[in-house]
Amino acid sequence: MSVIRPKPPEDPIQYDPSAVFATGGISREGLASLSPRLDQARQETLTDIDRFRTGKTRPGEVLDPAFIDLPDRLLADYNTQRPESELFAILSTARRIREAVDRVVVLGIGGSYMGTRALFEACCHPFHNELPRGERGGRPRLSFEGFNIDNDAAQGLLDLLAVPASGGGPDDLLARWALLIVSKSGGTLETAVATRLFLATLFEAVGRDRGRLAELVVPVTGKSGRLAALAGAIGCPDVFDIPDGVGGRFSVFTAVGLLPAAIVGIDVVRLLEGAAAMNRRFREAPVAENPVLQYVGVCHLAEAEMGATIRILSTWSSRLEAVGLWYDQLLSESLGKGEQGATPLTTVTTRDLHSRGQQHQEGRRDKLITNLLVGEPRRDPIRLPSIGGFAANQDALDDLVGRAWPDMLAAAAAGTNEAYAADRRPTADITLPRIDEHTVGQLLQMLMLATVAEGRLVGTNPYGQPGVEAYKQCMMRRLRP
């Protein structure tokens, strides 16, 4: 028997804006003449890493570029100093938690949970939480809280935690759960109040045993702050750091995203390898062949020359919706400053052709649609069955018997693009060869790099989110008059 395992695929994702040029709204020549500025934006993006490391930050400037080479650094450390590496620690804790509990509750908001949700929905079984533990490969269920102040949603999760599927007592593995608390600042109210609530619930669930509580709580936070202090008081054996220089919405490849991903069985090494592959393309490929810079250039020109201030990410798989929502947050918080910045909007197609399609086809000409297409499904294609003995051809589908779901989706994508093109509605395509850890790693890194590079192109600091403070202050004035 051969011991050589086939190497999993590492095909690159592709960006194709040709249908945008075909509208005549912007041209290939226009994009080519933007090349020097795009190159400059790339240089600035990469130079920021050195500026950050050498402390050359300008007065008052927020600078968080350490996410850029993070995948490369994590992989290099893992390969050279395995037991001491951060990735090894993440994988060890993931294994410990995986073997101890059947559900993990992630508390976090914004950048502290949206990347995890994107990874979970893209890379796990679409009904992971509904499957019995055996069919989940012994991996826990994953639930999210602390991203809202929704009384009934929180009560609903408490119901689930109180009544485990097995109906067993606290020593029953299927009844046990753990808490991952994620907050870089450690002080965000939504997450902090949920932390109190779920800590109190967990404390009761472990029979008020402080040692067991500590083992089932894993904080992921900045070096100091209230959550770090709380972790110390509880005595949590594992606490993960969100490194300086990595902002919340850029933290998906820190323990913020990697720990829960590893717990539910996502191959985090392949995720990081995908991200590192995108880094190489960003650094090395000439502007004209660089997916990050081409994407930035087209989005920028479409906004400046076609008035496309709304950027629709049209995801052609339900599994990519949470990636889109993560990107909505990334783009909004990074570039929505100084009364500038395009408005991102995620859709799931074909679902939303039946809710938004009308407007995209005939509404204001203020949209650039970027399709997020998937080359091949992960599972065997489903084919349309014949109707069987209980009816004739009343649904008039007999001529499609044997047609595969991916073929029908491809027809929908080509047909939608054709209809938009006929009305000069600009569409571009990002194509993932398939949805797996490697392509998702590439995609998330591509979108983070693009966001920062666009910020440098247009002179908006992509890091920090000063505007979010206003609501917090107004809210706290009401809570603590």
Name the residues annotated as catalytic.
Answer: 333, 354, 472
DSSP designation for 13: P
Beta carbons of 443 and 371 less than 8 angstroms apart = no
**Count of Cβ atoms closer than 10 Å to residue 179 Cβ:** 25
Give, as ranges, the residues between 77 and 116 that touch ligand PA5 (CB under 6 A): 109-112
Residue 218: φ, ψ to 5° = -120, 105
| Helices vs strands, H then E, count in the chain | 18, 10
DSSP 180-220: EEEESSS--HHHHHHHHHHHHHHHHHTTT-HHHHHHTEEEE
Burial class (CB in 10 A: 0-12, 13-18, 19+), 18: exposed
The answer to the question of residue 465 lying near ligand PA5 (CB under 6 A) is yes
Question: Between residues 306 and 331, which has the closer beta carbon with respect to ligand PA5?
Answer: 331
Q: Which is nearer to ligand PA5, 35 or 185 (CB)?
A: 185
Give me the least distance between CB of 248 and ligand PA5, in Å please: 2
Residue pair 453/292 in contact by the 8 Å Cβ criterion:
yes
Residue owning tokens 């404390």: 203
To the nearest whole angstrom, how small is the minimum distance from the Cβ of residue 156 to ligand PA5?
22
Q: Which is nearer to ligand PA5, 248 or 324 (CB)?
A: 248
Cβ neighbours, 10 Å, residue 88 = 14
Q: To the nearest whole angstrom, how small is the minimum distance from the Cβ of residue 385 to ligand PA5?
A: 46
Q: Which residues contact 386 (CB under 8 A, 6 or more apart)?
A: 398, 401
Q: How far is the CB of 247 from ligand PA5 (least distance, A)?
A: 5
Is residue 344 involved in binding ligand PA5 (CB under 6 A)? no
232-251 binders of ligand PA5 (CB under 6 A)? 247-249
Taking CB atoms, the residue at the shortest distance from ligand PA5 is 248
* Number of residues engaging ligand PA5 in binding (CB under 6 A): 14
Burial 272-281 (b: 16+ CB within 10 A, else e): bbbbbbbbeb
Binder of ligand PA5 out of 23, 35, 129, 185 (CB under 6 A): 185
State which of residues 116, 183, 315, 317 lies at the interface with ligand PA5 (CB under 6 A): 183
Which three-class secondary structure state does DSSP give residue 124? coil
What is the nearest approach in angstroms of ligand PA5 to the Cβ of residue 146? 9
Binding to ligand PA5 (CB under 6 A): which residues in 303-342?
A: 333
117 sits near ligand PA5 (criterion: CB under 6 A): no
Minimal distance in Å, beta carbon 41 to ligand PA5?
21
Q: Does 191 bind ligand PA5 (CB under 6 A)?
A: yes
Binding site for ligand PA5 (CB under 6 A): 109-112, 183-185, 188, 191, 247-249, 333, 465
